Amino acid sequence: MCHNVTGYVNGYILMTKRSSAITIRDVAREAGVSVATVSRYLNQNAPVSEKLAKRIQEVMDELDYVPQATARHLALRKKNAIGLLLTNMHNHFFAPLLAGIEAVVRDHGYNLLVATCHPDFRNEYPFPLGDHNTDGLLVFADSLNDEQVNQFYERDFPMVLIHKTPADGIKVPFVTVENKAATRKLVDHLITAHGRRRILLMRGPAEQEDSYWREVGYKAALSDHGLAFDETLVLCGSFEREVAYAALTEFLADPQHPAFDAVFAGDDDAAVGVYEALTEAGYRIPEDVSVAGFDDSRMAPFLSPPLTTVRAPTEEVGRSAAQHLFQLLEGQKPNLETLHPTEIVIRRSCGCSVNSVPEK
């Protein structure tokens, strides 16, 4: 049966099989919510609980009120803007990521809008970016939770995830790097090349997949050599310099702290905090304690001593994520999964006397 176009509400074409138009007020009344709540659900410009979203969608289906993604773009018009949601912008990791994204966005003649959406506060404020001001969205790590990602997905809004795997049933492209194998090889190097046995782990943010897989790689390397995982040698570094510095400083201030001879810092920003805390406490790197990071940020070769780390192609991650998003905007179907390889880079912070060629 054909649908009849009956008009526009909030940028959506109303489609109904009935002779009279179904309005947003009809949906709100049947769902038992306010018109503003239905509008937020449709436009994705503020959070709506999963329970309410399900109820609204069920009523829309029952009333044959079907927003069309293409109609939305015609009604609201093209924004010529791409949105990027980040958890924060205050460490060195984000500069190359932004560079890769911005280059692709600029080549397509679009503007890039960047906003932060911290996990601790993302439910307290309206979404800063969405189809009210962008044509598509790049979502970094845990800047949106699975429920919020699903809300955009149900509205058919173009989106690509960065360093985050979509939940089951959510067919959204995602771009990330290989974490487990590289971390395993790096920790193995500390054990086999330098005889380290008490390797302290700076754990990353609990919500981030990168943190999870790096810890899996760390534990796998210990297991390979018959070394037990020791929870007393795990501190929260959160992939941030200040957090890692404070955590290790507090750990070292305890005269009864467990012995350790190496630190896997989780990422390079945390490694800088580790350097500072160890130096203040009188430890020599690498003579007393080996240190290794992850990412191979631009500062890594210039630390003293230069930092042994894992080289992740962060700029390429940003570039490929943006390319996938433009493919979606052009009606193409990009690969749903893009996994970029990583490689370890040996420098002097682990105990090696000279820098080496990266090892894949």
Break the chain into its structural domains and give their ranges.
4-74, 79-174+314-339, 180-312+344-350
Query: Which option is the CATH number for 4-74: 3.40.630.10, 3.10.180.10, 1.10.260.40, 1.10.3730.10?
Result: 1.10.260.40
Q: What is the pLDDT of residue 64?
A: 80
d(CA 239, CA 293): 10
Are 45 and 127 within 8 A, CB to CB? yes
Q: What end-to-end distance do the CA atoms of the chain give, in Å? A: 58
180-312+344-350 maps to CATH 1.10.472.10: no
Q: What is the pLDDT of residue 336?
A: 96
Q: Do domains 4-74 and 180-312+344-350 have the same CATH topology?
A: no
In degrees and rounded to multiples of 5, residue 358 shows phi and psi of -55, 140
Number of other CB atoms surrounding residue 54 within 10 Å: 13
Class of residue 153 by CB neighbours under 10 A (exposed 0-12, middle 13-18, buried 19+): middle
Q: What is the pLDDT of residue 290?
A: 98
Ordered alpha helix ranges (H), the chain: 24-31, 35-43, 50-63, 69-76, 94-107, 146-154, 180-194, 209-224, 241-253, 268-280, 314-329
79-174+314-339 CATH: 3.40.50.2300
Q: What is the pLDDT of residue 233?
A: 98
Asked whether the whole model's pTM tops 0.85, one would answer no
Mean pLDDT by 10 residues, the chain (360 residues): 36 36 82 83 75 87 67 60 92 94 96 84 68 93 91 92 95 97 98 98 94 98 98 97 98 97 98 98 98 97 98 98 96 94 97 67
